[in-house]
Structure 1
Amino acid sequence: MRIAALALALALAPLAAHADQPLSAGQRFAQDAIIVDTHIDAPTGLLRHWADLGLDTPKVEFDYPRARQGGLDIAFMSIYTSPGEDAAGTATQTAHTQIDAVEAMVGRRPEQFAVLRSPKDFERLNAHNQRVLLALGMENGAPIGDDLSRLKLFFDRGVRYITLAHSEDNRISDSSYSRKRTWKGLSPFGEKVVDEMNRLGIMVDVSHLSDDAVRDVLARSKAPVIASHSGLRHFTPGFERNLSDELAKAVAAKGGVVQVVFGNAFVDPASAADTQAYFVASAKFEEEQAAARKRGETPKSSEAFDKQWEAAHPPRTVKIDAVLDQIDYAVKLLGADHVGIGSDFDGVSGALPEGLKSVADYPNLIDGMKARGHSDETIRRVLGGNLLRVWAEVEAKAVRS
């Protein structure tokens, strides 16, 4: 069904493949299936340095030619704001500017991209199998501030899921990375946020949340919830950023879906340990700089800390099997109806497994799943069918006025 689109993409991306090469089984499957990736961090990069992602752009992991080569149909653009931007009061503006960047990309390349606001619009917007449809997911609820009305404002701009917190506690929820545990789960305001998201039809995302916060969300939400980009803690013991078996099963029991992430830090035990150590060291660094400010000293920059850390902890070599192991385990634990993919492309500084380095590489995942005995039906569900089902259910339960 989508072979012609693939031929065009291959012609536009000569560094990755050639149009005259025969398609692998995984490539043929990818062009026919609907692939939904719930977490791609392209907007953050666009604000740092604008690039025309309608063209082959080797320094990033998402662009149009490679997306079509890989069979990607729906890419959730991550509207990410940091705890620092929250503290500075700039998170709301940053979020709007990132959405502006996505809209500008669509405006410049309407034949290649379109904004997707509802699963009902998929067939209409993708009628000729040429476009990559861009949905919006907000990573960190900080842009909401303490104003519930902003949820409607961001919904109207196209945001269809919100990751309630990121790497630190905020007004809404505790973070899995935080040592403070300000609310011991959701805050009272966070409960109202979940209620309003249910009312509007915005998917509640529990990735990044503390275990207690995930439990609170599951108890509060009247609609299925998602984990937009999470691994399973079974493979990374003690790493709370990944979901425990108990919580993953609870997400599934509520009708939701766990979108398996690709980044090394979430699928490889050694890389996960590095990540945990980073957040401990970073928190200590920030405490030291705060103390320096009180003494009237000039604090060191967090950028310098990160640069030094990255130099001392280069990315490890991880094979695609680490992601396939997660998918295998998730399907057995949760059932084939409750597993999806949320890569974190452009969000993990290139620390990705071999064979999953960009949006061109979904066929490698398909080939791996086929080799491990997954049925075509299961693969289609994992690639996108499950997420579209949950999105439609959340939308159906909304009572917008």
Structure 2
Amino acid sequence: MSLFLGACAHSGSQAPESLEQRAQRLVKENIIVDGHIDVPYRVEKAWVDVTKATDGGDFDYPRAVAGGLDAPFMSIYVPASLDNSPASTALAHDLIDSVEAIVGRAPDKFALAYSVSDVEENFKKGLISLPMGMENGSPVQGSLDTLNTFYERGIRYITLAHSQSNHISDSSYDLRRQWKGLSPFGKEMVAHMNRLGIIVDISHVSDAAFYQSVEISRAPVIASHSSLRRFTPGFERNMSDDMIKALAENGGVIMINFGSGFVSPLARSWRDKLSEQRQSLISQYGEDSPELEEFNQKYAKQNPYPFADLNMVLDHIDYVRDLVGIDYIGIGSDYDGVGDSLPVGLKDVSSFPNLVEGLLSRGYSEADIKKILNENVLRVWREVERVAASS
């Protein structure tokens, strides 16, 4: 009798999940929100049907399903070269059209998402949500009426500036600090974004503009695709410890950028040296010189790019957790936006199980991982919705 019971107990037992199995389960069970994916600009430059498998790029439907990605914010990216021109606004509308077209071609795969509840309902239906965020506020053109129109079209966050100072904010990349932070209109715009229900995104802005945004906004703000200056000293595009503390006090979230140059000091140094040497040649010989063309061809061959890896991305997540806690971390991969600089182990949207497995290997609880995958940023979005509803 005892032998029989023992045999039954053994046959009914299950082997414990491996880390890989746990990671696969977690990406299937939980919504994954990515704060920044540049699909619209990618398909604008060279059209491909991302509702099907594609040869290039970092995102398409099959890979998103494989990675468990459920709510990638589609970046409505407008280059700074179009600032202060009607072309800026026109391009933004064209890119929104392209997101709507993706959904129109495959309504059994994708759905637009204008609210947290949309994301949750789409997940229940097995659809990938495509919320939209505008990268570079230039298309607003100093008009709150235009801002209203973009909200109506589905824009749910706005990155106030991009690579140059614009009519809203100074940029971290631009040595000109014409506003010493936000412009007068920028301050007005942040307040109006609160009233509408648009999340304020402080990726790309100068430090002064960040602190002013946090001070003015009555709702939490996000950094939709930024990493930590602690690992890339002098790279203002990333956030300092003091900024992350202020972001946490505001209730906001930093969504970690995967690009090697954002997470690895070696990759950052490689890029800085490349830019420095190119600029020297441009100053000496000009933009179209054979010397510059020859340099461009030789540099990467003689100096192979030092790709980051998954562990470096995890180091950034660890650092934020240790600095301010688990409640202020999200994912902002910048897929399709950082070219071929993605880390080993995180090369496209199918790689999210690798990220989750890495977090498990470092001792993160499943509850903590859920916060990173979606709960933190959805909390911010809900609060932005609440502030707008009470305005």
| Distance in 2 between residues matched to 1:173 and 1:279, nearest whole Å | 25
CA-based RMSD: 2.6
Q: 1:3 — aligned with what?
A: none
Size of the aligned set, in residue pairs, is 369
Superposition pairs for residues 99-110 of structure 1, below 5 Å?
99-110=96-107
When structure 1 is superposed on structure 2, of 152-161 and 84-93 the one drifting more is: 84-93
> 1:145-180, CA deviations, whole angstroms, 9 ceiling, x for partnerless residues?
121211110001100000000111111111111111
| Distance in 2 between residues matched to 1:349 and 1:335, nearest whole Å | 31
Q: Secondary structure at the match of 2:368?
A: helix
| Distance in 2 between residues matched to 1:269 and 1:143, nearest whole Å | 33
Q: Is 1:83 aligned to residue 80 of structure 2?
A: yes
Q: 2:163 — aligned with what?
A: 167
| Distance in 1 between residues matched to 2:294 and 2:379, nearest whole Å | 41
| Distance in 2 between residues matched to 1:255 and 1:283, nearest whole Å | 41
CA contact (8 A) 1:165 1:173 kept: yes
Q: 2:117 — aligned with what?
A: 120
Q: Secondary structure at the match of 1:66?
A: helix
Q: 2:307 — aligned with what?
A: 317
Q: 1:282 to 1:339 in 2, by over 3 A?
A: farther
The structure number with the bigger radius of gyration is 2
CA contact (8 A) 2:232 2:264 kept: yes
| Distance in 1 between residues matched to 2:345 and 2:159, nearest whole Å | 27
Q: 1:366 — aligned with what?
A: 356
Q: 1:201 to 1:55 in 2, by over 3 A?
A: same
Q: 2:42 — aligned with what?
A: 45
- CA shift at 1:276, angstroms? 4.6
- CA shift at 1:125, angstroms? 2.3
CA contact (8 A) 1:177 1:279 kept: no
For structure 2, list consecutive stretches of 5 or more residues without a partner in the other structure.
1-18
CA contact (8 A) 2:197 2:387 kept: yes
Superposition pairs for residues 285-364 of structure 1, below 5 Å?
300=287, 309=296, 312-313=299-300, 315-364=305-354
TM-score by length of 1: 0.86
- CA shift at 1:383, angstroms? 0.8
Q: Secondary structure at the match of 2:319?
A: helix
Write the letter of the residue equivalent to 1:218. Answer: V
Equivalent of residue 151 in structure 1, options 144, 147, 152: 147
| Distance in 2 between residues matched to 1:285 and 1:159, nearest whole Å | 41
- CA shift at 1:91, angstroms? 0.9
- CA shift at 1:75, angstroms? 0.6
CA contact (8 A) 2:201 2:223 kept: yes
Equivalent of residue 213 in structure 1, options 209, 212, 220: 209
Q: Is 1:194 aligned to residue 190 of structure 2?
A: yes
Q: 1:283 to 1:228 in 2, by over 3 A?
A: farther
> 1:297-323, CA deviations, whole angstroms, 9 ceiling, x for partnerless residues?
xx8479x97996586356322211110
Superposition pairs for residues 45-64 of structure 1, below 5 Å?
45-64=42-61
| Distance in 2 between residues matched to 1:36 and 1:163, nearest whole Å | 17
Q: 2:176 — aligned with what?
A: 180
CA contact (8 A) 1:239 1:276 kept: no
Equivalent of residue 98 in structure 1, options 95, 114, 120: 95
> 1:106-157, CA deviations, whole angstroms, 9 ceiling, x for partnerless residues?
000000000000001223223232x111000100011111212111100011
For structure 1, list consecutive stretches of 5 or more residues without a partner in the other structure.
1-21, 293-298
Superposition pairs for residues 242-257 of structure 1, below 5 Å?
242-257=238-253
Q: Secondary structure at the match of 2:223?
A: strand
> 1:35-75, CA deviations, whole angstroms, 9 ceiling, x for partnerless residues?
00010001111111211111111201111111011111101
> 1:65-100, CA deviations, whole angstroms, 9 ceiling, x for partnerless residues?
110111111010000011111155411111111111
Equivalent of residue 138 in structure 1, options 129, 134, 138: 134
CA contact (8 A) 1:330 1:339 kept: yes
| Distance in 2 between residues matched to 1:285 and 1:137, nearest whole Å | 37
- CA shift at 1:400, angstroms? 8.3
Q: Secondary structure at the match of 2:131?
A: strand
| Distance in 2 between residues matched to 1:391 and 1:40, nearest whole Å | 18
Q: 1:182 to 1:306 in 2, by over 3 A?
A: farther
